[in-house]
Chain A
Amino acid sequence: ETGVTQSPTHLIKTRGQQVTLRCSSQSGHNTVSWYQQALGQGPQFIFQYYREEENGRGNFPPRFSGLQFPNYSSELNVNALELDDSALYLCASSLVVDTDTQYFGPGTRLTVL
């Protein structure tokens, strides 16, 4: 158990819809990173939030957006869902931005039909 929680566990949406995924960091961790993991692949970096500001972004389109709240919990929003967005979405929290180990939550399995 890493102390990082995510909700929901599973989600089914249809193409074109919007989705919001949620993550609660391990206590005291002020940095949250989001990853997309397709079947049989390693996690791919979407973006990172540090103290409520986006602190880096991977190669994902603008329809992937996020928020971090004062309690350091975080949301990942995806608009105009596409079939290829079907994946496991992982959030990871760390105590110190840039130098600390990231600890992962259990993930949200998103299926887009």
Chain B
Amino acid sequence: GQNIDQPTEMTATEGAIVQINCTYQTSGFNGLFWYQQHAGEAPTFLSYNVLDGLEEKGRFSSFLSRSKGYSYLLLKELQMKDSASYLCAVRALNSGYSTLTFGKGTMLLVSP
């Protein structure tokens, strides 16, 4: 099976930097995704890592260490609109097909 852990809630201040961690245990690892989900809406794709290292995309960066089963999402220059749930998802390739397994999400609250 697969196990994905991320903190339940985090709070931060507008303009600050926040790091959301994700640890996972899986077989057949084939990539790690971060999605943002505002309340009542669909998840939207933020980033993808399949090799170790840092991927940067504007205010958002994501890091992966496959040997440690660890990833983080870094959000810089926080804005109020960044208040949302952030979902870590691991893709695994087993039995001839891939599955995407999500963590429970980290609710980020950005305050003024």
Which A residues are closer than 8 A to B by beta carbons? 2, 33, 35, 40-45, 48, 55-56, 58, 90, 92, 97-99, 101-107, 109
Interface size class of B (residues with CB under 8 A): 20 to 34
Q: Is the CB of A106 within 8 A of B45?
A: no
By a CB distance below 8 angstroms, the chain B residues around A97 are 97-98
CA distance in complex: A56, B98 (Å): 8
8 A-B pairs within 8 Å (CB atoms) are namely A2-B42, A42-B104, A48-B99, A58-B99, A101-B45, A102-B45, A104-B43, A106-B41
**From B30, B42, B97, contact of A48 by CB (8 A):** B97
By a CB distance below 8 angstroms, the chain B residues around A106 are 41-42
CA distance in complex: A45, B99 (Å): 7
Question: How far does the Cβ of B1 sit from chain A's closest Cβ, in whole Å?
Answer: 9
**From A2, A41, A55, A102, contact of B100 by CB (8 A):** A102
CA distance in complex: A105, B30 (Å): 23
Question: How far does the Cβ of B32 sit from chain A's closest Cβ, in whole Å?
Answer: 12
Q: Given contacts A42-B87, A98-B93, is CB(A103)–CB(B45) below 8 Å?
A: yes
CB nearest to B104 among chain A residues? A42
By a CB distance below 8 angstroms, the chain A residues around B48 are 101
Which residues of chain B (53-112) have a CB below 8 Å from chain A?
Answer: 87, 89, 93, 95, 97-105
